[in-house]
């Protein structure tokens, strides 16, 4: 039975066995200190010639970094130190080649991304990936407890969700098809069967955006709810954000601290997230010297300039219809604006969620399809959802990588996914 490195502290004065990979070594002559890494963290292994004998001790001296090994010994708490270590009595080191390409010196981002299959072993990258795992689990567990059903949408679709210019086109047995931008349209079919559904899966955007915020392949969580209008949708988004961040903060304290993030940063002050109307956003930006004409969408720089004024997430609500997707409901009291919102994270981060109330009327949706130049015949199945039992309904989408970037305090989104895909990168 092997002990996890993060549980070694529970085994002080006991015999225990660890297994993992050699990530560093200090040779002090008669004693060698090895740092063993497993999927949960690292532990120090103390190797002495007296305990191991000549052969095993020499193997410790010569083992290449990243060699796989298993060690048995006595768990000890050194005097004056808070962390347990393993005093090795036997060690097995499996063969591995020397010359691991990632050393302690600084490497450029292009080199590290070329070596991504190896870079993910580093302490920081492994911590990010553990936090990602907890974040995805938090999304699923929160939504399941809230009465949602998982609803898996296809990744190969005959239609676009938001616009054909950002789609990866496929030849599907002689017919055109696309990699999915979003599960939303299919999830809207699911709500008439299950009322509250969510998807969690990959999305594809053929945007040639070379920024620290964009990927061409990313993962999104997308809840959809029947009988829910725009304001209630924003209220649920607040509950969702607070709920998932609480789970991550509780589960991943050590990893957050390793990334120099205090878990308390994931817990916001009490009080509702503020809702700022789009019209007021234009005025706020003008005060900051930023000129946004009515009807234009916000730029990344606009979002960052706004969010520095907030200590918690906030919503921008009622965007002009002309800068929102075809499926968004218009405000019946002011048809030129949409019942659509973005949720922005504080401290200069920007948008993390896009959501809104979906168009429920058949004729209005047909009109919107025509305005966007979309083929009505391709969307017949989607129009059927308005012909048969349409109700007010809302939903939203959150990119896992964007939220993870905020949680971890990362400059660039490329570190938030095991293998990033961008306009400039499709390997490894």
Query: Can you give 356-378 as a three-state secondary structure string?
Result: EEECCCHHHHHHHHHHCCCCHHH
Rounded to whole angstroms, the Cα distance separating 344 from 50 reads 60
Extents of the domains making up the chain: 5-93, 116-408
- Predicted local confidence at residue 163, as pLDDT: 59
- Predicted local confidence at residue 162, as pLDDT: 65
Contacts by 208-212, CB closer than 8 A, 24 or more apart: 208/423, 209/423, 210/422, 210/423, 210/424, 211/300, 212/411, 212/412, 212/413, 212/414
The tokens for 336 are 């030129």
- The whole-angstrom distance between residue 271's C-alpha and the CA centroid of its chain comes to 25
Residue 342 makes CB contacts below 8 A (sequence gap 6+) with: 298, 303, 315, 316, 319, 351, 353, 354, 355
pLDDT band at 263 (very low <50, low <70, confident <90, very high): very high
pLDDT one-digit tens code per residue, 10-46: 999 999 999 999 999 999 999 999 999 999 999 999 9
- Whether residue 103 is predicted with pLDDT greater than 90 in this model: the reply is no
Measured CA distances, 87 to 51, 84, 150, 267 (Å): 9, 10, 48, 40
Partners of 328 in the β-ladder = 358
Share of the chain above pLDDT 90, in %: 91
Measured CA distances, 303 to 233, 293, 294, 311, 344 (Å): 21, 15, 15, 14, 7
Q: Do domains 5-93 and 116-408 have the same CATH topology?
A: no
Q: What topology does CATH give the domain 116-408?
A: BirA Bifunctional Protein; domain 2 (3.30.930)
What's the number of CA atoms in the CB half-sphere (13 Å) around residue 164? 12
Per the listing, tokens 């961040």 go with: 245
Rounded to whole angstroms, the Cα distance separating 339 from 331 reads 6
Give the Cβ contact number of residue 251 at 10 Å: 18
- Predicted local confidence at residue 212, as pLDDT: 85
Per the listing, tokens 């190969």 go with: 156
Find, among 226, 228, 207, the residue nearest to 216 by Cα: 207
- The whole-angstrom distance between residue 328's C-alpha and the CA centroid of its chain comes to 25
Measured CA distances, 111 to 238, 416, 419 (Å): 39, 17, 14
- Whether residue 128 is predicted with pLDDT greater than 90 in this model: the reply is yes
The tokens for 159 are 């239609």
Predicted structure pTM score: 0.95
Decide the pairing of beta strands 41-48 and 85-93: parallel
DSSP state of 292: -
pLDDT one-digit tens code per residue, 367-409: 999 999 999 999 999 999 999 999 999 999 999 999 999 999 9
Summary count for the chain: helices (H), strands (E):
12, 18
Do 15 and 61 contact (CB within 8 A), yes or no? no
Q: What is the average pLDDT value for the chain, to the nearest integer?
A: 95
CATH superfamily entry for domain 5-93: Nucleic acid-binding proteins (2.40.50.140)
Rounded to whole angstroms, the Cα distance separating 185 from 370 reads 17
- Predicted local confidence at residue 211, as pLDDT: 83
SS3 label, residue 211: coil
Rounded to whole angstroms, the Cα distance separating 289 from 277 reads 19
pLDDT one-digit tens code per residue, 147-196: 999 999 999 998 766 655 689 999 999 999 999 999 999 999 999 999 99
- What is the mean pLDDT of the segment spanning 326-352? 96
- Predicted local confidence at residue 213, as pLDDT: 85
- Predicted local confidence at residue 346, as pLDDT: 93
Q: What are the φ and ψ backbone dihedral angles of 31, each rounded to 5 degrees? A: -130, 135
């Amino acid at each position: 039975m092997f002990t996890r490195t993060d549980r070694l502290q529970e085994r002080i004065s006991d015999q225990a066995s660890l297994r993992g990979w050699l990530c560093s070594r200090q040779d002090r002559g008669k004693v060698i200190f090895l740092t063993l890494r497993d999927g949960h963290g690292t532990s120090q292994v103390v190797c002495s010639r007296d305990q191991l004998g000549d052969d095993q001790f020499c193997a410790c001296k010569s083992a290449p970094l990243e060699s796989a090994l298993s060690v048995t010994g006595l768990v000890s708490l050194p005097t004056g130190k808070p962390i347990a270590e393993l005093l090795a009595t036997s060690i097995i080191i499996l063969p591995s080649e020397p010359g691991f390409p990632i050393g302690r010196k600084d490497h450029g981002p292009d080199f590290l991304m070329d070596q991504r299959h190896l870079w993910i072993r580093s302490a920081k990258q492994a911590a990010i990936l553990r936090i990602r795992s907890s974040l995805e689990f938090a999304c699923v567990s929160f939504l399941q407890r809230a009465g949602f059903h998982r609803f898996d949408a296809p990744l190969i679709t005959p239609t676009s969700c938001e616009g054909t210019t950002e789609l990866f086109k496929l030849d599907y047995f002689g017919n055109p098809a696309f990699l999915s931008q979003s599960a939303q349209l299919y999830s809207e079919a699911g709500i008439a069967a299950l009322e509250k559904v969510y998807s969690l899966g990959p999305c594809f955007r053929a945007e040639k955006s070379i920024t620290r915020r964009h990927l061409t392949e990313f993962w999104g969580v997308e809840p959809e709810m029947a009988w829910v209008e725009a304001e209630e949708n924003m209220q649920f988004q607040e509950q969702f954000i607070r709920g998932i961040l609480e789970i991550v903060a509780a589960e991943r304290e050590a990893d957050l601290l390793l990334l120099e993030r205090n878990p308390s940063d994931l817990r916001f002050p009490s009080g509702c997230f503020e809702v700022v109307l789009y019209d007021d956003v234009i005025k706020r930006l003008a005060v900051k010297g930023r000129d946004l004409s009515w009807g234009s969408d916000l730029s990344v720089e606009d979002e960052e300039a706004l969010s520095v004024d907030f200590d918690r997430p906030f919503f921008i609500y009622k965007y002009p219809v002309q800068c929102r997707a075809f499926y968004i409901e218009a405000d019946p009291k002011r048809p030129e604006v949409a019942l659509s919102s973005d949720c922005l994270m504080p401290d200069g981060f920007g948008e993390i969620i896009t959501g809104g109330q979906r168009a429920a009327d058949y004729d209005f949706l047909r009109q919107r399809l025509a305005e966007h130049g979309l083929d009505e015949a391709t969307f017949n199945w989607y129009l059927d959802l308005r012909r048969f039992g349409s109700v007010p309904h809302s939903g939203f989408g959150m990119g896992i990588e964007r939220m993870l970037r905020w949680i971890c305090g990362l400059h660039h989104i490329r570190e938030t996914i095991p293998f990033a895909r961008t306009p400039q990168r499709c390997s490894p």
